[in-house]
Amino acid sequence: MMEQFPDNSTDNIQSSGNNGNNGAMDNWIVEYCEAKIVNRLREIQNDLRGHIYLVCFDVLIKHLGPKWEIKKNVIWQHIQSHFEREFHYPDWCMPVKDNSWLFVFPSLAPAKACAKCEEIFSETVHFFVGELQYSDLPIFEVNVEVASKLTMRQCNFKESDDEIKHIAPVASNHKFASVSITESIRVDTALEPTFRVKESTLIGHRFSPNIVDIKSDFVLSSQKIALLDPKIIEDIQIANIEQGIALLYDLPANNRHIVMVVPATFHTMTSARARGKIISEITSAAAELDLKIIFELRELSNVPSHRVTEIVTFLKPFCKAVIGNIGTDMKSVISAKGCGLDGVVLEYDRVERSTEEFNNYLKSLEAAAKLNSGIFLINGLENIQQIEAISNIAGISHACIINVKP
């Protein structure tokens, strides 16, 4: 439900410029009291023209009248769900003010992005009120200006804008690579966006593997992976890291940011062969790409704390931090103490929850975060809104958005 996420609206939106007939706007200057919205837009390092749109729902609000306040959350959730059925990071959207949504489409050509906004607006209006008469589509192209300002102009759907149609899609950071480990198993690797939670700032990427059965094309469960030969598991993790490095090399330098999160199981790191290969490749890439390394140790349950300490001590000279993955069990935060770890990784379980249930989950997160004194990274979030939802919880420092392969 939409109540699960904070209201990203801002109260200080001001407009200037010429308002044409039927409410058409040639130019708007929009001032946000929270500059982090603009900062997030600036994370798309290429030309932003034609990739950012604001859709105003005033016509729907006016039609609903007093019913708007009752239906607002349902309508906002409908828009969010419509978007997420088709798009994933780096494309994203968020409500702004009380009447509009901001849509960002780095992966689409401008003409398609604009058309998609029209589709979302028309479908939403039709779904909730049926046919509705309006003279102009309230869809605005947005450009990023200095400081916390955006300029906007109303899209012209009657005349083609040749200039904007020829702007290419912005390259996506959310790429994938695949390699076969055996005749029956392959590894799909993605770069998962990693954020500093407080400012919702993108700081790097996590190498995320999916282990896939080649014949069925199904992702293997953790139970089936555990039954694989230990050497194959080592090869899977080495391949994931090699592919993650290759994907980083493919990115423009300013899109790599500053950190790479490198997951590997405890048992793989106890193997001299695997550990030596991983450290050699990852430190070489980090030096060349000017990135800091965070090692994520996985599968730590039932491992004696002194054994974890040994591996952590060995890894620390080669990285910025070593953090331990505790799965979805928040109570395991306490068991990660005393091992020399610099923090923990908690897996988000992605269970659908009511507003009350989600609020209780956030309270549990806050309690778990208080037990941890270092990095607290939540892995597996689905969108920017969920990062916003945890941004005010003291102690939660970082988060990753899950990869979704098209």
Please tell me the predicted confidence (pLDDT) of residue 140: 85
Q: Which residue has the higher pLDDT, 196 or 15?
A: 196
Phi, psi of 342 (to 5 degrees): -90, 5
pLDDT tens across 25-36, in order?
444 455 443 556
Q: 208, 44 in Cβ contact below 8 A?
A: no
Tens-digit pLDDT profile for residues 329-366? 888 888 888 899 999 999 998 787 777 888 888 888 88
Average pLDDT, the chain: 81
Residue 131 has pLDDT above 60, yes or no: yes
- Lowest mean pLDDT, pick from 8-22, 26-40, 189-203, 279-293: 8-22
Q: Please check whether residue 308 is in contact with residue 269, taking contact to mean a CB–CB distance below 8 angstroms.
A: no
Average pLDDT rounded to a whole number, residues 191-217: 90
Structural domains of the chain, with CATH: 2-165 (3.30.70), 176-401 (3.20.20.450)
Question: For residue 404, what pLDDT band results from cuts at 50, 70 and 90?
Answer: low
> Which pLDDT score, from 0 to 100, does residue 175 have?
64
Interval 382-398: pLDDT, tens: 877 788 888 888 899 99
DSSP letters, 93-144, are EEEETTTEEEEE-TTS-HHHHHHHHHHHHHHHHHHHHSS---SS--EEEEEE
Q: Is the pTM of this model over 0.85?
A: no
Rg (CA), the chain: 23
Q: How far is CA 63 from CA 58, 67, 68, 131, 138, in A?
A: 8, 9, 9, 11, 15
Q: What is the pLDDT of residue 396?
A: 93
Query: How much is the average pLDDT of 152-178?
Result: 55
Q: How far is CA 298 from the centre of its chain?
A: 21
Instruction: Give the pLDDT score at 405.
Output: 55
Asked if the model's pLDDT at residue 172 lies above 50, the reply is: no
